Chains A and B, each alone.
Chain A
């Protein structure tokens, strides 16, 4: 069975190479049969990789500990969901899972474009298969998931306890879908560069794919933060760890692209810049994988490390060299009709929004690699930790929040005094009043005051848009308010879905600002019956419980909680000890409400003295971070849902392209 997996990967590698060469030859020599053959080869690669995934899954589920991978990342007592998750819990498996997603997407793209984009598709196939071949080469020659142990192990070493959390089932797959989703626009971008077809078509064809990638990058980041919040037990959710940064940076550049591409669609501007952003986003996904896999910078999340670094660096440099050459070669075709009438215009405001998004990405990148730079220049290793990123990114982030309010409502070309008054008087007043009120209420954390004030400003601009739009429909169409609102959104999903995403963004900012500025924290050592007061909460330690199962043993502290004197329940912060990995793991107890989270961590328990140490956090408004994340996801679904108008725009763009093609052939 395992031999079948090995064979599949080898054949997939060869098939991938064939697909690349055949697609390129077919396109160059104008021999459609070769292009078709390349497409079929890509399908075959997909099927072979799927077979390899099934073989590995079968080995995991049947507990075949003769395989090194299975013995290293699972055990006989690991539950079925986590056994399946072990597929992406280790290095070779996660690379395999990656190629599987990549080849699946490649197949979907091929099927979508069987009848169109005939000129671009050979190069799309060649690009995606080149990437697949790189990953397959690693799997075949460097780190095989089908390596046999010299002597089969009697028992597996088990999955890292930190990974035994249900978010583990969602976080890595969604991040991978996001990462790999960025490959599709990248492949089309390369194809557009090679063929010189740099018009609207490639952008419109890949729009939904870019949104798809963005959807999963957003989900992956939010769920990853939630995982850290629940599993790491330090009261926070984001530590600017290199691997977190690796997931954040492509999200930022992808966000920048989704905004600036609107300027290209509407005004045929910024063609070069959009091209650069698509290429950059892909490079950042590869850089992210490199950071996770190489161990160049230490991280809590690189659960698997190895010598893959040099391969990724070589691949990344190769990609950068090729796409840079392509961009320079096609520079004349990337000149748009750039025109900016005024800095008070939507075009200009989108430029500044892009500046900030890419600026934050750069600051994050810079902080992540600075230890390496420092070591190279001064020979001294230094640490660039959370305080650096918070200080540098907070002002940039607040400026971005401001632009979130300005960008969508300021007029195109040149905002008149009237437009500015109409759009911003009320929101600015709301933001100002909120700022003054919370300052008067005694808040002295200036970042938090500014953040709340700006969030109120953003929400007010969006509220006005919905309100005015709904009112207009009520007046013009005679629709009742709820129906008018539904139609308003339904008929212009990109615009209003975008607003919904912005509402989510404002919520995330509020949650982050409040929970970092006003967090309460207390570490207490109590004996049975002991009481501690943290903020409005009174916590009584009622005793300790022990449980045991073959997989882990655990102890749970029983904590009775009252808020302002009213009992609100009993909570059980838990400490587990995973037997096979010989590692402890924290299971926090959470009381989550819209106003605050009570977050309990069991620190330690001493049998002899009966003393229990517990860390208590009160994180105000932190729930809005997760709710905001969900709202962003919901908004993306609205934006992504297809509309007839958009299909027409793509069809029209394709028709123009086809006419051009016919004219060229004649």
Chain B
């Protein structure tokens, strides 16, 4: 069984043979990239380095390109933050817009008599029940 840290690091590095997979996933016979890289990871770990230190070693030696995901520092943060920021912003837009939609132009203002509202709701319930049935 391989060491868990070794596997983790293999997953964090991209194979350079052009397969597009992580070093861990690449299974090319005599792959010129993943096999030496796996060996190098093992050597680094044997030298007593931590996961972070090993990853730093690889990104300084081969360039940032070798990491299989962007780092979480500097400009790379943009990669991580943007999708969530976009979803949150769009979610906020939905909330704001649908608040506005609640006051339909032709409909009476929110001060609708409670009775009418209740009547409508009761009818709705009845219809829904019929729908469910």
Residues of A bordering B, CB below 8 Å: 233-236, 239, 241, 298-300, 337-341, 343, 348, 351-352, 355-356, 358-359, 362-363, 366-367, 370, 373-374, 377-378, 380-388, 391-392, 396, 411, 413-414, 416, 418-419, 422, 468, 472, 476, 522-523, 575, 584, 586, 601, 603-604, 615
Q: A355-B87, A366-B83, A374-B76 are in contact. Are A380 and B64 (CB under 8 A)?
A: yes
Please determine whether A355 and B94 come into contact, CB atoms closer than 8 angstroms: yes
Nearest-CB distance from A465 to chain B (Å)? 10
Residue of A nearest to B25 (CB): A234
Kindly state the separation between the CA atoms of A481 and B102 in the bound complex, as whole angstroms.
Answer: 42
Question: Could you say which of B28, B63, B90 contacts A359, with CB atoms under 8 Å apart?
Answer: B90
A-side contacts of B86, CB under 8 Å? 359, 362-363, 366
In the complex formed, the residue of A with least CB distance to B59 is A382
State whether the Cβ of B66 lies closer than 8 Å to any Cβ in chain A.
Answer: yes
B101 and A338 within 8 A (CB) = yes
**Cross-chain contact of B79 among A298, A300, A384 (Cβ < 8 A):** A384
Task: Flag if A343 contacts B22 (CB, 8 Å).
Answer: no
Check: B52 CB closer than 8 A to any chain A CB: no
Q: Are A387 and B12 in contact (CB under 8 A)?
A: yes
In the bound complex, do residue A386 and residue B22 qualify as a contact, i.e. CB atoms below 8 Å apart? yes
Q: Which residue from chain B places its CB closest to the CB of A604 in the assembled complex? A: B29
Is there contact, CB below 8 Å, between B12 and A339?
Answer: no
Chain B nearest CB from A556 CB (Å) reads 15
B111 to chain A, nearest CB (A): 16
Determine how close the nearest CB of chain B comes to the CB of A300; give it in whole angstroms: 5
State whether A348 touches B98 (Cβ < 8 A): yes
Complex interface: chain A residues within 8 A of B25 (CB): 234-236, 239
Contact assessment for A392 and B80 in the assembled complex, using a CB-CB cutoff below 8 Å: yes
Closest to B82 in A: A366
Given A377-B75, A381-B63, A383-B65, verify A388-B70 contact (CB < 8 Å). yes
Residues in A whose Cβ lies below 8 Å from that of B95: 343
**Contact A416 B68, beta carbon cutoff 8 Å:** no
Nearest CB on B from A444, distance (A): 14
> Are the CB atoms of A418 and B27 closer together than 8 Å?
no
Question: How far is it, in angstroms, between the C-alpha of A523 and the C-alpha of B2 when the chains are bound?
Answer: 9
Chain B residues with CB under 8 Å of A366's CB are 79, 82-83, 86
17 contacts between A and B (CB under 8 A): A234-B26, A339-B102, A343-B98, A356-B87, A358-B90, A359-B83, A359-B90, A367-B83, A387-B11, A388-B68, A392-B84, A396-B83, A396-B87, A416-B124, A472-B132, A472-B133, A523-B2
Nearest to A301 among chain B residues (CB) is: B20
Q: Closest B residue to A358 by CB, please name it.
A: B90
B68 and A385 contacting across the interface, CB-CB below 8 Å: yes
For B12, the closest partner residue in chain A by CB is: A387
Q: Does chain A have a CB within 8 A of B53?
A: no
Q: Is the CB of A351 within 8 A of B98?
A: yes
Contact B121 A299 (CB under 8 A): no
Task: Name the contact of A362 in the complex, choosing from B27, B80, B83 (C-beta under 8 A).
Answer: B83
Question: Across the interface, do B102 and A340 meet the contact criterion of CB distance under 8 Å?
Answer: yes
In whole angstroms, what is the CA distance A300 to B18 when docked? Answer: 7
Closest 8 CB pairs of A and B: A363-B83, A385-B68, A340-B98, A359-B87, A388-B69, A387-B69, A234-B25, A338-B101
The reply to whether A601 and B27 contact each other, CB–CB distance below 8 Å, is: yes
- Asked whether A522 and B63 contact (CB < 8 A) given A362-B86, A386-B68, A603-B27, the answer is no
> At the interface, yes or no: B32 with Cβ under 8 Å from chain A?
no
Check A416–B102 contact: CB distance below 8 A. no
Q: Which of B12, B20, B125 contacts A298 (CB 8 A)?
A: B20
* Set of chain A residues within 8 Å of B124, measured between Cβ atoms: 413-414, 416
Q: How far is the CB of B95 from chain A (nearest CB, A)?
A: 8
Q: Is the CB of B29 within 8 A of A575?
A: yes
Residue among A384, A522, A604 making CB contact with B1, cutoff 8 Å: A522
Q: Is A416 within 8 A of B64, CB to CB?
A: no
**Which B residues touch A472, using CB under 8 A?**
132-133
Chain B nearest Cβ from A477, distance in angstroms: 12
Q: Pick the contact of A383: B29, B66, B102 (CB < 8 A).
A: B66
Shortest beta-carbon distance from B114 to chain A in Å = 15
B67 at the interface (CB under 8 A from A): yes
A-contacting residues, B84-125, CB 8 Å: 84, 86-87, 90-91, 94-95, 97-98, 101-102, 104, 107, 121, 124-125
Task: Collect the chain A residues with CB atoms within 8 Å of residue B68's CB.
Answer: 383, 385-388
- Chain A positions within 8 Å of B12 at CB level: 387
Beyond the given pairs A236-B25, A341-B102, A355-B94, 17 more chain A to chain B contacts, judged by CB atoms under 8 angstroms and listed by A's residue number, are: A239-B25, A351-B94, A359-B87, A362-B87, A363-B87, A366-B83, A370-B79, A385-B69, A386-B69, A388-B79, A414-B121, A414-B124, A468-B132, A522-B1, A584-B29, A586-B27, A603-B29
